[in-house]
Amino acid sequence: MHFLWPHNLWWMLVLPVLPALYLWLLRRGGKPALVYSSLRVVREAVGRSWRRHVPPALVFLALALLLLALARPTASVPLPWAKSTIWLAIDISRSMRVADVQPTRMVAAQDAAKAFLGEVPKPIEVGLVTFAGTAQVAQRATLDRPSLVSAVDAIQMQYGTAIGNAIVVCLAELFPDHGIDLGEMTFGASRRAPARGGLDDKAPPKEFKPVPPGSYGSAAIILLSDGRRTTGVDTLEAAKMAADRGVRIHVVGLGTPDGHTALGDGMAMYLQLDEPTLKHVAQMTGGEYHHAGTAEKLRSVYQTLGSRMQVSQRDTELTALLALAAGLLLVSGAGLSVLWFSRVA
């Protein structure tokens, strides 16, 4: 715990004086002993004697909290991500049918993705991008987990591996006002998507200044691939775009070193996992790289990422919380005093 105004902690020295003052008032206000005609009356009086100390004790605790609040304490509190988005980018290239990861890479990836959706807290939106020779949004970011599960189950494998395109599509969804256009990046300005009505009345892109990698805490991309880029935007160019916007990319490399040769179609080099590039993507963006050679390892990776994204440590000022607690204690003390003794003080 830290304090924004630590000099106000000196007021805490007043606290030891208050119990002493309370005891002095009790002795000063003492009354001569009374003669009771019944022992039952005495027992009831003794049984209720502890009540007289409860309201002052609550007031004492309230004052202690208020004096502590004067120092404006802050603490690193684990809080659920607010208005956060996670994009899953899943490789659906033809090599995902290889069975070196049981039952197949694709089925293992689907199962792990659905398990991940069960781990992510409900307040966090999740979107799904699938990529092979092209990249497309299979499900926009949503809190609707059943829709996401349906999108994962509906995946169909295709040819090619455009890893860079997948990253760009995710960034375009995260930053719609940055003017990120995959068609323009791939084919030039002539292939920009036309505006409605046939006129290019699209608002100019919002200017942004590059920020430190990994500094954007409201979003993250989890990229899963089992091969290397064969088409589309350069992978490292796309990773640089993410790094400049502070978005972390956590990369999962799927498959065994020689599993790609099982297809036997003469394209082993293009189906082989490009770990150096994928590791570089994670390093550039402040993310992590994980290799998953089995279905169990893949599920473990997703669970690890999910648990790390559940909460974030944020420095939070506790002044208002302490003041609220002190107010509740004061009200409780006054209420009990009225209930038991028909007076506030």
**Positions of CATH 3.40.50.410 in the chain:** 81-190+204-293
* pLDDT tens by residue, the chain, 345 residues: 778 888 888 888 888 888 888 777 777 755 555 555 554 544 544 445 777 778 888 888 888 888 888 888 887 665 554 567 899 999 999 888 888 888 999 999 999 999 888 888 777 889 999 999 999 999 999 999 999 999 999 999 999 999 999 999 999 999 999 989 998 888 776 555 554 444 455 556 767 789 999 988 888 999 999 888 999 999 999 999 999 999 999 999 988 766 555 555 555 555 678 889 999 999 999 999 999 888 888 888 887 776 666 545 566 788 888 889 888 988 888 887 777 767 665
CB atoms within 10 A of CB 225: 28
Q: What pLDDT is recorded for position 196?
A: 42
Name the residue with tokens 């684990």: 78
User: CATH for 81-190+204-293?
Assistant: 3.40.50.410
Q: What pLDDT is recorded for position 344?
A: 65
Q: Which letter, b or e, does each residue of 17-43 get, where b requires 16 or more Cβ atoms within 10 Å of its Cβ? A: eeeeeeeeeeeeeeeeeeeeeeeeeee
Name the residue with tokens 């064969």: 230
End-to-end CA distance of the chain: 35
pTM: 0.65
Q: What pLDDT is recorded for position 15?
A: 84
Rounded distance between C-alpha atoms, residue 77 and residue 25, angstroms: 41
